[in-house]
Amino acid sequence: MEKIGWMLVAKASEEDLRSVDQVVYTLEAIGYGRLPDELCVEEVGEAFDVEDRAQCQRVMRHLLAVTSTGSVGRAATGLRTVFDPRSEVLAPDSDVLELHPRLVKALAAAEQLKASGWAPLTGPGQIQEGDFLSFTVGGTPMSVKARMVLNAGNDREEVVYNRHRNFYFVTSMAVDGTSTHKGVFVRSARPAEGQS
């Protein structure tokens, strides 16, 4: 299951998408007045006659076989959810498939953050002594340096940023959101590769 905006929906599988493709292909073919190639008996491009009981049965059996290999409903529900304005995935006022302005803004902010050298804390082993840290504690923004890293690289890693007052956080707790230290970002104090 994948949460899209306001609703949790099951993601369509590759089988679901192939099933939808086959249903669409079949319906479009008969809509143009011909049988899909795999249902032609006499020649490719055989005309479809809605009054021909045998042809209609072949088409119906084919559609039932195709839909038994995947969930057309799951694919349609996922598509409807993505298109729903409440999901804020697609731009609501666009005639083409464009990302919602909120997502465009978030992606631009992420690129800007990446260019600045700051990265979100994702796990133990990321912070080294001397690295710059940015976070909030009790709603107060803080910018500090990592003074010590204890148990570096494992799930008990602690990052000390004020030795005299014993101010520190546990990396795994900061990552999973159970720490009082929120929104921890790291910028390496070491020069990037190729720089001296």
Q: Which two tokens stand for residue 107?
A: 């992606």
Total-model pTM = 0.55
Q: Identify the domain boundary among 65, 87, 109.
A: 87
Residues 66 and 132 in one domain: no
Residue 27, φ and ψ in degrees, nearest 5? -65, -40
Q: Which two tokens stand for residue 190?
A: 């070491």
* Domains in the chain, number: 2
Residue 137 lies in a domain: yes
Residues 8 and 80 in one domain: yes
Residue 178 lies in a domain: yes
d(CA 180, CA 169): 8
124 contacts 172 by C-beta, under 8 angstroms: yes
d(CA 185, CA 135): 6
Helix pair angle (14-31, 72-83), 10° resolution: 90
Which residues span the domain enclosing 61? 2-87
Per-residue pLDDT for the chain (196 aa), expressed as one digit of tens each? Answer: 555 555 677 889 999 999 999 999 999 999 999 999 989 887 888 999 999 999 999 999 999 999 999 999 999 998 888 888 888 889 988 999 999 999 998 888 878 777 778 899 999 999 999 999 999 999 999 999 999 999 999 999 999 999 999 999 999 999 999 999 999 999 998 765 544 4
Helix (H, G, I), strand (E, B) or coil at 25: helix
d(CA 181, CA 129): 18
Q: In the chain, which ranges are continuous DSSP H helix?
A: 14-31, 53-67, 72-83, 101-116, 171-176
